[in-house]
Amino acid sequence: MKLITFLLLTIAFLFFSFKPHSSFYRYSKTINEHINPKDSTFFRLSKTPLEFSKTKDSMQVIRHFGYSLAYNEECEQAAWIAYSLTKIETSGIIERGDNFSIDPKVLTGSATKDDYLKSGFDRGHLAPAADMKWAEQAMDESFYFSNMSPQLPAFNRGIWKRLEEKMRDWAIIYDSILIVTGPILNSSLTRIGTNKVCVPTHYYKVILDFKREKSKAIGFILPNSSSKDDLRNFAVTVDSVEQLTGIDFYFQLTDSFESQLESKICLECWEW
């Protein structure tokens, strides 16, 4: 009888303590005091994580296991990719994949490998595979073409890689961060392939270390070219990224708190 009781209690504990991987689930308890209660968008989209951005109605928002995105059909790539990265996730052991594939969730069809073939550009990850090594599904889905953008090899394998590595360092240092990343898109960009995939001239990242009143945010804008410059040379305010992209980050927060985070940049507040 004691054994049966013990087993039942163990099963109950595991059931109620299990939590699926979800940025919103992890952060919902800590952001409530800064969420604007009048912002019905947040509560109507109750599964929407804090790192989600306001998206034009014409863009399809897609959720994958490890990240989400807003798909820009005109440029055949994501306008933004959003995900959280935690200290624990950086120690994942899933090996890097290599199965680039069409994103089955893009209703209009994503780019394909033929678009990049002999183009001279890398299939550059927006959400890096190294950030998805905590789960096999997350790793596999990071190779969807909706997560790719044409990047010059020297950029993709150089300063872009250095910035990605810095993000993982910060996830370890600050325990968890929210990342939104993507290309700066417009209709005048050069295009490649049958699907006319836009070749961005610049890329951005926006990072939030959410610690309530001690929260901090920072943006980066990098040209799609080779550079050995210090990453701090490319740091900007989040407001600056919003002005260039037309994207509204952290809209779920109260206006005053959002303005406080986005209008200033404090390089000394981050570990370099």
Angle at Cα 205 formed by Cα 259 and Cα 231, nearest 5°?
A: 105
pLDDT of amino acid 50 = 60
Q: What pLDDT digit, counting tens, does each position of 134-179 carry?
A: 999 999 999 999 999 999 999 999 999 999 999 999 999 999 999 9
* Higher-pLDDT residue of 75, 252: 75
- The predicted model scores a pTM of 0.82
Considering only 109-118, 167-176, 243-252, which range has the smallest mean pLDDT?
243-252
Q: What average pLDDT is seen over the chain?
A: 84
Whether 80 has a pLDDT exceeding 50, the answer reads yes
Q: Which residue numbers are catalytic?
A: 125
Q: What is the mean pLDDT of residues 223-252?
A: 96
Q: What is the mean pLDDT of residues 60-81?
A: 95
Residues 6+ apart with CB under 8 A from 161: none
The set of long-range contacts for 159-162, using a CB threshold of 8 Å and a minimum separation of 24, is 159/222, 159/226, 159/227, 159/228, 159/229, 159/231, 160/124, 160/203, 160/222, 162/231
CATH code given to domain 44-267: 3.40.570.10
Residues 6+ apart with CB under 8 A from 242: 248, 249, 262
Whether 101 has a pLDDT exceeding 60, the answer reads yes
Residue ranges per domain, the chain? Answer: 44-267
Q: If you write DSSP's letter for every residue of the chain in order, what string do you get?
A: -HHHHHHHHHHHHHHHH-----HHHHHHHHHGGGB-TT-HHHHHTTT--TT--B--TTSEEEE-SS-EEEEETTTTEEEEEEEEEETTGGG--PPP----B--TT-TT----HHHHTTSS-EEEESS-GGGGTT-HHHHHHTTBGGGEEEE-HHHHTTHHHHHHHHHHHHHHHHSEEEEEEEE---TTS-EETTTTEE--SEEEEEEEE--GGG-EEEEEEEESS---S-GGGGEE-HHHHHHHH--BTTTTB-HHHHHHHHS---GGGS--
Considering only 101-110, 124-133, 183-192, 205-214, which range has the smallest mean pLDDT?
205-214
The 3-state secondary structure of 66-105, one letter per residue? CCEEEEECCCCEEEEEEEEEECCHHHCCCCCCCCCECCCC
pLDDT of amino acid 55 = 67
Q: What is the mean pLDDT of residues 35-51?
A: 39
Say how far apart CA 272 and CA 100 lie, in whole Å: 33
Q: Give the distance from CA 176 to its chain's centroid.
A: 13
